[in-house]
Structure 1
Amino acid sequence: MIHRHAENRHGRDFVVGDIHGEYRLLEAALHRVDFQTERDRLFAVGDLIDRGPDSFACLALALEPWFFGVRGNHEALAAAALGGGDWGAWLMNGGTWVRDHDRDAVRRRLAAALVRLPLAREVAVAGKRLGIVHAEPPPDWSQVETADEALAHRLVWGRRRIASQDTTPVTGIDAVAVGHTIVPEPVRLGNVHYLDTGAFDTGRLTLVEARDLVE
Protein backbone atom coordinates (compact mmCIF):
# COMPACT_ATOMS: atom_id res chain seq x y z
CA MET A 1 0.00 0.00 0.00
CA ILE A 2 2.76 2.46 0.97
CA HIS A 3 6.53 2.49 0.49
CA ARG A 4 8.74 4.59 2.75
CA HIS A 5 12.09 6.13 1.90
CA ALA A 6 14.83 7.31 4.23
CA GLU A 7 16.45 10.68 3.67
CA ASN A 8 18.76 10.91 0.67
CA ARG A 9 22.15 11.62 2.24
CA HIS A 10 24.07 11.64 -1.03
CA GLY A 11 22.00 13.72 -3.43
CA ARG A 12 18.75 15.52 -4.09
CA ASP A 13 15.13 14.40 -4.35
CA PHE A 14 12.76 15.72 -7.00
CA VAL A 15 9.03 15.27 -7.60
CA VAL A 16 7.51 15.33 -11.08
CA GLY A 17 3.90 15.82 -12.12
CA ASP A 18 1.95 13.55 -14.47
CA ILE A 19 4.33 12.59 -17.30
CA HIS A 20 1.71 11.12 -19.67
CA GLY A 21 4.12 9.73 -22.22
CA GLU A 22 6.17 12.92 -22.52
CA TYR A 23 9.57 11.28 -22.23
CA ARG A 24 11.43 14.09 -24.00
CA LEU A 25 9.93 16.74 -21.72
CA LEU A 26 11.12 14.73 -18.72
CA GLU A 27 14.61 14.37 -20.18
CA ALA A 28 14.77 18.13 -20.74
CA ALA A 29 13.53 18.89 -17.23
CA LEU A 30 16.09 16.56 -15.64
CA HIS A 31 18.85 18.06 -17.79
CA ARG A 32 17.96 21.56 -16.57
CA VAL A 33 18.54 20.56 -12.95
CA ASP A 34 21.62 18.46 -13.75
CA PHE A 35 19.93 15.34 -12.40
CA GLN A 36 22.50 12.66 -11.52
CA THR A 37 21.08 9.14 -11.56
CA GLU A 38 23.80 7.75 -9.31
CA ARG A 39 22.85 10.01 -6.39
CA ASP A 40 19.60 11.87 -7.07
CA ARG A 41 16.09 10.38 -6.83
CA LEU A 42 12.97 11.15 -8.83
CA PHE A 43 9.52 10.65 -7.31
CA ALA A 44 6.48 10.71 -9.60
CA VAL A 45 2.82 11.30 -8.80
CA GLY A 46 1.55 8.69 -11.28
CA ASP A 47 0.11 8.64 -14.82
CA LEU A 48 3.35 7.80 -16.56
CA ILE A 49 1.45 6.74 -19.66
CA ASP A 50 -1.22 7.72 -22.21
CA ARG A 51 -1.86 10.79 -24.36
CA GLY A 52 1.81 11.65 -24.97
CA PRO A 53 3.98 10.11 -27.73
CA ASP A 54 6.30 7.86 -25.71
CA SER A 55 4.17 5.90 -23.26
CA PHE A 56 6.02 2.61 -23.74
CA ALA A 57 9.33 4.27 -22.83
CA CYS A 58 7.77 6.14 -19.92
CA LEU A 59 6.37 2.91 -18.51
CA ALA A 60 9.93 1.58 -18.32
CA LEU A 61 10.88 4.47 -16.03
CA ALA A 62 9.25 2.58 -13.18
CA LEU A 63 11.99 -0.05 -13.50
CA GLU A 64 14.88 2.41 -13.10
CA PRO A 65 16.68 2.30 -9.72
CA TRP A 66 16.50 6.12 -9.35
CA PHE A 67 12.78 6.41 -10.18
CA PHE A 68 9.99 6.00 -7.61
CA GLY A 69 6.41 6.46 -8.78
CA VAL A 70 2.94 5.77 -7.49
CA ARG A 71 0.05 4.21 -9.35
CA GLY A 72 -2.13 6.57 -11.36
CA ASN A 73 -5.56 6.09 -12.85
CA HIS A 74 -4.07 5.61 -16.32
CA GLU A 75 -1.95 2.71 -15.09
CA ALA A 76 -5.15 1.35 -13.56
CA LEU A 77 -7.03 1.72 -16.85
CA ALA A 78 -4.23 -0.08 -18.71
CA ALA A 79 -4.14 -2.89 -16.15
CA ALA A 80 -7.89 -3.39 -16.42
CA ALA A 81 -7.82 -3.50 -20.21
CA LEU A 82 -4.80 -5.77 -20.53
CA GLY A 83 -6.22 -7.99 -17.82
CA GLY A 84 -9.26 -8.72 -19.95
CA GLY A 85 -11.44 -5.82 -18.82
CA ASP A 86 -12.67 -2.56 -20.34
CA TRP A 87 -10.66 -1.66 -23.45
CA GLY A 88 -13.01 1.15 -24.39
CA ALA A 89 -12.31 3.21 -21.28
CA TRP A 90 -8.54 2.97 -21.77
CA LEU A 91 -8.60 3.73 -25.48
CA MET A 92 -10.87 6.73 -24.98
CA ASN A 93 -8.48 8.08 -22.37
CA GLY A 94 -5.26 7.97 -24.36
CA GLY A 95 -4.43 4.28 -24.50
CA THR A 96 -4.39 4.06 -28.31
CA TRP A 97 -0.58 3.95 -28.25
CA VAL A 98 -0.86 0.26 -27.40
CA ARG A 99 -1.77 -0.37 -31.05
CA ASP A 100 1.79 0.57 -32.04
CA HIS A 101 3.37 -2.13 -29.87
CA ASP A 102 3.21 -5.84 -29.32
CA ARG A 103 0.39 -6.28 -26.84
CA ASP A 104 2.17 -9.01 -24.89
CA ALA A 105 5.27 -6.81 -24.58
CA VAL A 106 3.12 -3.99 -23.17
CA ARG A 107 1.43 -6.41 -20.79
CA ARG A 108 4.77 -7.69 -19.49
CA ARG A 109 6.21 -4.21 -19.06
CA LEU A 110 3.09 -2.99 -17.28
CA ALA A 111 3.10 -5.98 -14.94
CA ALA A 112 6.74 -5.32 -14.04
CA ALA A 113 6.04 -1.61 -13.55
CA LEU A 114 3.01 -2.14 -11.32
CA VAL A 115 5.15 -4.06 -8.85
CA ARG A 116 7.08 -0.81 -8.37
CA LEU A 117 4.06 1.51 -8.37
CA PRO A 118 2.39 1.37 -4.94
CA LEU A 119 -0.62 3.52 -4.08
CA ALA A 120 1.46 5.79 -1.85
CA ARG A 121 4.99 6.73 -0.92
CA GLU A 122 6.43 8.63 2.01
CA VAL A 123 9.82 10.33 1.79
CA ALA A 124 11.97 11.78 4.56
CA VAL A 125 13.12 15.21 3.36
CA ALA A 126 15.07 17.79 5.37
CA GLY A 127 13.86 16.26 8.64
CA LYS A 128 10.22 16.28 7.51
CA ARG A 129 7.87 13.84 5.79
CA LEU A 130 6.48 14.16 2.27
CA GLY A 131 3.62 11.95 1.17
CA ILE A 132 2.89 11.12 -2.46
CA VAL A 133 -0.34 9.75 -3.96
CA HIS A 134 -1.78 10.20 -7.42
CA ALA A 135 -5.09 11.96 -6.86
CA GLU A 136 -6.29 12.72 -3.34
CA PRO A 137 -4.95 11.93 0.14
CA PRO A 138 -7.18 11.04 3.09
CA PRO A 139 -7.80 13.62 5.85
CA ASP A 140 -5.35 11.73 8.08
CA TRP A 141 -2.24 10.33 6.39
CA SER A 142 -2.20 7.31 8.71
CA GLN A 143 -5.36 6.05 6.98
CA VAL A 144 -3.22 5.11 3.97
CA GLU A 145 -1.80 2.24 6.02
CA THR A 146 -5.12 0.41 6.18
CA ALA A 147 -6.90 1.79 3.12
CA ASP A 148 -10.05 -0.08 2.15
CA GLU A 149 -11.32 -0.31 -1.42
CA ALA A 150 -13.11 3.05 -1.22
CA LEU A 151 -10.03 4.90 0.01
CA ALA A 152 -7.79 3.13 -2.49
CA HIS A 153 -10.11 4.39 -5.24
CA ARG A 154 -9.92 7.91 -3.83
CA LEU A 155 -6.12 7.83 -3.78
CA VAL A 156 -6.11 7.09 -7.51
CA TRP A 157 -9.24 8.87 -8.76
CA GLY A 158 -10.44 11.43 -6.18
CA ARG A 159 -11.01 15.13 -6.92
CA ARG A 160 -13.24 16.30 -4.06
CA ARG A 161 -10.56 18.33 -2.29
CA ILE A 162 -9.53 20.37 -5.29
CA ALA A 163 -13.10 20.69 -6.58
CA SER A 164 -14.10 22.34 -3.30
CA GLN A 165 -10.78 24.20 -2.91
CA ASP A 166 -10.41 22.59 0.52
CA THR A 167 -7.42 24.05 2.37
CA THR A 168 -7.72 21.81 5.42
CA PRO A 169 -4.25 20.32 6.02
CA VAL A 170 -3.82 16.57 5.88
CA THR A 171 -2.86 15.55 9.41
CA GLY A 172 0.00 13.21 10.25
CA ILE A 173 2.23 14.40 7.41
CA ASP A 174 4.10 17.61 6.63
CA ALA A 175 3.17 17.85 2.95
CA VAL A 176 1.61 15.75 0.20
CA ALA A 177 2.30 15.86 -3.55
CA VAL A 178 -0.43 14.80 -5.99
CA GLY A 179 -1.29 15.02 -9.67
CA HIS A 180 -4.38 13.85 -11.60
CA THR A 181 -6.16 17.21 -11.89
CA ILE A 182 -4.62 19.59 -14.44
CA VAL A 183 -3.82 23.04 -13.08
CA PRO A 184 -2.35 26.01 -15.02
CA GLU A 185 0.55 26.12 -12.56
CA PRO A 186 1.35 24.22 -9.35
CA VAL A 187 -1.29 24.86 -6.69
CA ARG A 188 -1.12 24.42 -2.92
CA LEU A 189 -4.26 23.73 -0.89
CA GLY A 190 -3.40 23.45 2.79
CA ASN A 191 -0.35 21.19 2.73
CA VAL A 192 -1.31 19.41 -0.51
CA HIS A 193 0.60 20.35 -3.68
CA TYR A 194 -1.02 19.79 -7.08
CA LEU A 195 1.67 19.27 -9.74
CA ASP A 196 -0.10 18.14 -12.92
CA THR A 197 0.32 21.00 -15.38
CA GLY A 198 -0.95 19.06 -18.40
CA ALA A 199 2.35 18.22 -20.06
CA PHE A 200 0.77 16.32 -22.97
CA ASP A 201 -1.30 19.39 -23.89
CA THR A 202 0.60 22.42 -22.61
CA GLY A 203 4.16 21.19 -22.99
CA ARG A 204 4.77 22.16 -19.35
CA LEU A 205 5.99 19.35 -17.12
CA THR A 206 6.39 20.39 -13.51
CA LEU A 207 9.54 19.24 -11.74
CA VAL A 208 10.18 20.52 -8.21
CA GLU A 209 12.76 19.75 -5.57
CA ALA A 210 11.15 17.80 -2.75
CA ARG A 211 12.74 20.09 -0.17
CA ASP A 212 10.70 23.01 -1.56
CA LEU A 213 7.44 21.15 -0.90
CA VAL A 214 8.05 20.62 2.81
CA GLU A 215 9.51 24.02 3.66
Structure 2
Amino acid sequence: MLQRFATNTAGTDYVVGDIHGCYDLLVRELKRAGFDYQRDRLFCVGDLIDRGPSSLECLQLPFEPWFHSVRGNHELLAHDAFELGRWGMWLLNGGVWVRDEDPQEVRERLREALPHMPYAFEIEVEGARVGIVHAEPPTDWSMIVPGDDALEHHLVWSRRRIERRDTSRVTGIDGVVVGHTILREPLWLGNVYYIDTGAFTTGRLTLIRLVDVIRMIGE
Protein backbone atom coordinates (compact mmCIF):
# COMPACT_ATOMS: atom_id res chain seq x y z
CA MET A 1 0.00 0.00 0.00
CA LEU A 2 2.70 2.49 1.05
CA GLN A 3 6.43 2.22 0.33
CA ARG A 4 8.89 4.47 2.15
CA PHE A 5 12.28 5.65 0.88
CA ALA A 6 15.10 7.11 2.94
CA THR A 7 17.08 10.13 1.77
CA ASN A 8 19.13 9.54 -1.35
CA THR A 9 22.60 10.35 -0.06
CA ALA A 10 24.33 9.36 -3.30
CA GLY A 11 22.41 11.36 -5.89
CA THR A 12 19.30 13.33 -6.76
CA ASP A 13 15.63 12.31 -6.59
CA TYR A 14 13.23 13.37 -9.33
CA VAL A 15 9.50 12.99 -9.85
CA VAL A 16 7.80 12.75 -13.25
CA GLY A 17 4.20 13.06 -14.36
CA ASP A 18 2.03 10.52 -16.20
CA ILE A 19 4.23 8.96 -18.92
CA HIS A 20 1.41 7.27 -20.88
CA GLY A 21 3.60 5.29 -23.24
CA CYS A 22 5.86 8.21 -24.15
CA TYR A 23 9.11 6.37 -23.52
CA ASP A 24 11.28 8.39 -25.91
CA LEU A 25 10.00 11.63 -24.40
CA LEU A 26 10.96 10.39 -20.94
CA VAL A 27 14.46 9.51 -22.11
CA ARG A 28 14.88 12.97 -23.65
CA GLU A 29 13.76 14.70 -20.46
CA LEU A 30 16.13 12.61 -18.35
CA LYS A 31 19.01 13.46 -20.67
CA ARG A 32 18.11 17.14 -20.50
CA ALA A 33 18.14 16.97 -16.69
CA GLY A 34 21.51 15.21 -16.61
CA PHE A 35 19.99 12.19 -14.87
CA ASP A 36 22.62 9.82 -13.45
CA TYR A 37 21.29 6.27 -13.77
CA GLN A 38 23.79 4.99 -11.22
CA ARG A 39 23.05 7.46 -8.41
CA ASP A 40 19.76 9.25 -9.07
CA ARG A 41 16.23 7.96 -8.54
CA LEU A 42 13.11 8.69 -10.57
CA PHE A 43 9.65 8.50 -9.00
CA CYS A 44 6.54 8.46 -11.17
CA VAL A 45 2.93 9.32 -10.31
CA GLY A 46 1.64 6.32 -12.30
CA ASP A 47 -0.10 5.76 -15.64
CA LEU A 48 2.94 4.35 -17.41
CA ILE A 49 0.81 2.92 -20.20
CA ASP A 50 -1.89 3.74 -22.78
CA ARG A 51 -2.31 6.47 -25.41
CA GLY A 52 1.37 7.00 -26.20
CA PRO A 53 3.38 4.96 -28.76
CA SER A 54 5.49 2.75 -26.44
CA SER A 55 3.35 1.32 -23.67
CA LEU A 56 5.00 -2.09 -23.57
CA GLU A 57 8.43 -0.48 -23.27
CA CYS A 58 7.18 1.74 -20.45
CA LEU A 59 5.81 -1.32 -18.67
CA GLN A 60 9.41 -2.51 -18.37
CA LEU A 61 10.40 0.56 -16.34
CA PRO A 62 9.32 -0.80 -12.90
CA PHE A 63 12.07 -3.41 -13.18
CA GLU A 64 14.82 -0.78 -13.49
CA PRO A 65 16.70 -0.15 -10.22
CA TRP A 66 16.56 3.64 -10.66
CA PHE A 67 12.82 3.81 -11.43
CA HIS A 68 9.88 3.68 -9.00
CA SER A 69 6.21 4.23 -9.79
CA VAL A 70 2.96 4.13 -7.89
CA ARG A 71 0.09 2.46 -9.72
CA GLY A 72 -2.30 4.55 -11.76
CA ASN A 73 -5.82 3.96 -12.95
CA HIS A 74 -4.57 2.83 -16.38
CA GLU A 75 -2.53 0.00 -14.87
CA LEU A 76 -5.66 -1.05 -12.99
CA LEU A 77 -7.82 -0.81 -16.12
CA ALA A 78 -5.37 -3.16 -17.85
CA HIS A 79 -5.39 -5.50 -14.86
CA ASP A 80 -9.18 -5.62 -14.81
CA ALA A 81 -9.26 -6.34 -18.54
CA PHE A 82 -6.91 -9.31 -18.30
CA GLU A 83 -8.02 -10.71 -14.95
CA LEU A 84 -11.73 -9.82 -14.82
CA GLY A 85 -12.62 -9.62 -18.50
CA ARG A 86 -13.50 -5.91 -18.35
CA TRP A 87 -12.09 -5.06 -21.74
CA GLY A 88 -14.50 -2.32 -22.79
CA MET A 89 -13.37 0.32 -20.31
CA TRP A 90 -9.66 -0.23 -20.98
CA LEU A 91 -10.00 -0.20 -24.76
CA LEU A 92 -12.06 2.99 -24.61
CA ASN A 93 -9.36 4.63 -22.50
CA GLY A 94 -6.26 3.98 -24.54
CA GLY A 95 -5.74 0.23 -24.21
CA VAL A 96 -6.10 -0.46 -27.94
CA TRP A 97 -2.32 -0.74 -28.25
CA VAL A 98 -2.60 -4.27 -26.85
CA ARG A 99 -4.02 -5.37 -30.21
CA ASP A 100 -0.59 -4.75 -31.77
CA GLU A 101 1.26 -6.78 -29.14
CA ASP A 102 1.26 -10.35 -27.89
CA PRO A 103 -1.53 -10.17 -25.26
CA GLN A 104 0.05 -12.92 -23.19
CA GLU A 105 3.34 -11.02 -23.05
CA VAL A 106 1.53 -7.86 -21.97
CA ARG A 107 -0.42 -9.78 -19.35
CA GLU A 108 2.67 -11.39 -17.87
CA ARG A 109 4.65 -8.15 -17.83
CA LEU A 110 1.77 -6.35 -16.12
CA ARG A 111 1.43 -9.15 -13.56
CA GLU A 112 5.12 -8.89 -12.75
CA ALA A 113 5.15 -5.08 -12.70
CA LEU A 114 2.20 -4.42 -10.40
CA PRO A 115 3.84 -5.83 -7.24
CA HIS A 116 6.55 -3.18 -7.78
CA MET A 117 3.89 -0.44 -7.95
CA PRO A 118 2.22 0.28 -4.59
CA TYR A 119 -0.53 2.85 -4.15
CA ALA A 120 1.66 5.42 -2.39
CA PHE A 121 5.27 6.47 -1.83
CA GLU A 122 6.79 8.49 0.97
CA ILE A 123 10.27 9.89 0.34
CA GLU A 124 12.60 11.70 2.73
CA VAL A 125 14.08 14.85 1.17
CA GLU A 126 16.23 17.30 3.12
CA GLY A 127 14.54 16.41 6.40
CA ALA A 128 11.04 16.67 4.92
CA ARG A 129 8.66 14.00 3.67
CA VAL A 130 7.11 14.02 0.19
CA GLY A 131 4.22 11.71 -0.63
CA ILE A 132 3.27 10.47 -4.09
CA VAL A 133 -0.05 9.00 -5.19
CA HIS A 134 -1.61 8.88 -8.62
CA ALA A 135 -4.80 10.92 -8.35
CA GLU A 136 -5.56 12.36 -4.92
CA PRO A 137 -4.35 11.83 -1.35
CA PRO A 138 -6.64 11.50 1.66
CA THR A 139 -7.06 14.52 3.93
CA ASP A 140 -4.69 12.90 6.45
CA TRP A 141 -1.66 10.97 5.17
CA SER A 142 -1.91 8.53 8.09
CA MET A 143 -5.17 7.24 6.58
CA ILE A 144 -3.16 5.30 3.99
CA VAL A 145 -3.44 1.80 5.42
CA PRO A 146 -3.75 -1.62 3.76
CA GLY A 147 -7.08 -3.25 3.06
CA ASP A 148 -9.22 -0.17 2.48
CA ASP A 149 -10.85 -0.64 -0.94
CA ALA A 150 -12.55 2.76 -0.90
CA LEU A 151 -9.24 4.48 -0.17
CA GLU A 152 -7.48 2.57 -2.95
CA HIS A 153 -10.11 3.76 -5.42
CA HIS A 154 -9.72 7.33 -4.14
CA LEU A 155 -5.94 7.27 -4.55
CA VAL A 156 -6.09 6.28 -8.22
CA TRP A 157 -9.35 7.82 -9.47
CA SER A 158 -10.53 10.82 -7.43
CA ARG A 159 -10.63 14.38 -8.76
CA ARG A 160 -12.66 15.96 -5.96
CA ARG A 161 -9.88 18.22 -4.71
CA ILE A 162 -9.00 19.68 -8.10
CA GLU A 163 -12.64 20.00 -9.21
CA ARG A 164 -13.35 22.04 -6.07
CA ARG A 165 -9.99 23.86 -6.21
CA ASP A 166 -9.60 22.75 -2.60
CA THR A 167 -6.52 24.43 -1.08
CA SER A 168 -6.71 22.74 2.32
CA ARG A 169 -3.49 21.00 3.37
CA VAL A 170 -3.05 17.26 3.65
CA THR A 171 -1.99 16.68 7.25
CA GLY A 172 0.73 14.27 8.34
CA ILE A 173 2.98 14.95 5.33
CA ASP A 174 4.94 17.97 4.10
CA GLY A 175 3.75 17.75 0.50
CA VAL A 176 2.18 15.35 -1.98
CA VAL A 177 2.79 15.06 -5.74
CA VAL A 178 0.02 13.68 -7.97
CA GLY A 179 -0.89 13.29 -11.63
CA HIS A 180 -4.08 11.96 -13.26
CA THR A 181 -5.61 15.31 -14.26
CA ILE A 182 -4.10 16.98 -17.33
CA LEU A 183 -3.23 20.66 -16.83
CA ARG A 184 -1.51 23.27 -18.97
CA GLU A 185 1.01 23.87 -16.19
CA PRO A 186 1.76 22.19 -12.85
CA LEU A 187 -0.54 23.45 -10.11
CA TRP A 188 -0.40 23.72 -6.31
CA LEU A 189 -3.57 23.22 -4.28
CA GLY A 190 -2.57 23.56 -0.65
CA ASN A 191 0.42 21.25 -0.28
CA VAL A 192 -0.63 19.00 -3.19
CA TYR A 193 1.25 19.46 -6.48
CA TYR A 194 -0.42 18.37 -9.74
CA ILE A 195 2.14 17.60 -12.47
CA ASP A 196 0.34 15.79 -15.32
CA THR A 197 0.91 18.06 -18.33
CA GLY A 198 -0.44 15.65 -20.94
CA ALA A 199 2.67 14.08 -22.43
CA PHE A 200 0.79 12.13 -25.10
CA THR A 201 -1.10 15.18 -26.40
CA THR A 202 1.17 18.14 -25.62
CA GLY A 203 4.60 16.54 -25.81
CA ARG A 204 5.32 18.07 -22.40
CA LEU A 205 6.34 15.70 -19.62
CA THR A 206 6.92 17.43 -16.29
CA LEU A 207 10.13 16.29 -14.59
CA ILE A 208 11.24 18.04 -11.40
CA ARG A 209 13.66 17.45 -8.56
CA LEU A 210 11.99 16.55 -5.28
CA VAL A 211 14.20 19.05 -3.48
CA ASP A 212 12.61 21.75 -5.63
CA VAL A 213 9.16 20.51 -4.66
CA ILE A 214 10.10 20.87 -0.99
CA ARG A 215 11.46 24.37 -1.56
CA MET A 216 8.26 25.44 -3.34
CA ILE A 217 6.21 24.27 -0.38
CA GLY A 218 8.21 26.62 1.83
CA GLU A 219 7.68 29.66 -0.38
Q: TM-score, normalised by structure 2?
A: 0.97
Compute the displacement of 1:156 (Å).
0.4
Paired residues in the alignment total 215
Q: Which residue of 1 aligns with 2:127?
A: 127
Q: Which residue of 1 aligns with 2:72?
A: 72
Q: What CA RMSD, in Å, does the superposition of the two structures yield over aligned residues? A: 0.8
| Distance (whole Å) between structure 1 residues aligned to residue 160 and residue 147 of structure 2 | 17
| Distance (whole Å) between structure 1 residues aligned to residue 214 and residue 147 of structure 2 | 24
Q: Which residue of 2 aligns with 1:4?
A: 4
| Distance (whole Å) between structure 2 residues aligned to residue 154 and residue 45 of structure 1 | 14
Question: What residue identity is the alignment partner of 1:56?
Answer: L
| Distance (whole Å) between structure 1 residues aligned to residue 18 and residue 205 of structure 2 | 8
Q: Which residue of 1 aligns with 2:198?
A: 198
SS in 2 for 1:15: strand
Q: Which residue of 1 aligns with 2:86?
A: 86
Q: Which residue of 1 aligns with 2:15?
A: 15
| Distance (whole Å) between structure 2 residues aligned to residue 168 and residue 85 of structure 1 | 39
Question: What residue identity is the alignment partner of 1:84?
Answer: L
Structure 1 residues 84-134: Cα deviation after superposition (integer angstroms, max 9, x where no partner): 321010000000110111111001100111010000000001110000000
SS in 2 for 1:89: helix
Q: Which residue of 2 aligns with 1:46?
A: 46
| Distance (whole Å) between structure 1 residues aligned to residue 63 and residue 185 of structure 2 | 29
Structure 1 residues 28-52: Cα deviation after superposition (integer angstroms, max 9, x where no partner): 0000011111100000000000000
Question: What residue identity is the alignment partner of 1:20?
Answer: H
Question: What residue identity is the alignment partner of 2:71?
Answer: R
Q: Which residue of 2 aligns with 1:167?
A: 167
Compute the displacement of 1:8 (Å).
0.1
Q: TM-score, normalised by structure 1?
A: 0.99
Structure 1 residues 147-204: Cα deviation after superposition (integer angstroms, max 9, x where no partner): 6111110000000000000000100000000000001010000000001000000000
| Distance (whole Å) between structure 2 residues aligned to residue 49 and residue 89 of structure 1 | 14
SS in 2 for 1:106: helix
Question: What residue identity is the alignment partner of 2:154?
Answer: R
Question: What residue identity is the alignment partner of 2:127?
Answer: G
Q: What residue ranges of structure 1 are gaps of 5+ in the alignment?
A: none
Compute the displacement of 1:146 (Å).
4.4
Runs of 4+ in 1 over 4 A off after TM superposition: none
Q: Which residue of 1 aligns with 2:109?
A: 109
Question: What residue identity is the alignment partner of 1:204?
Answer: R
Compute the displacement of 1:214 (Å).
1.3
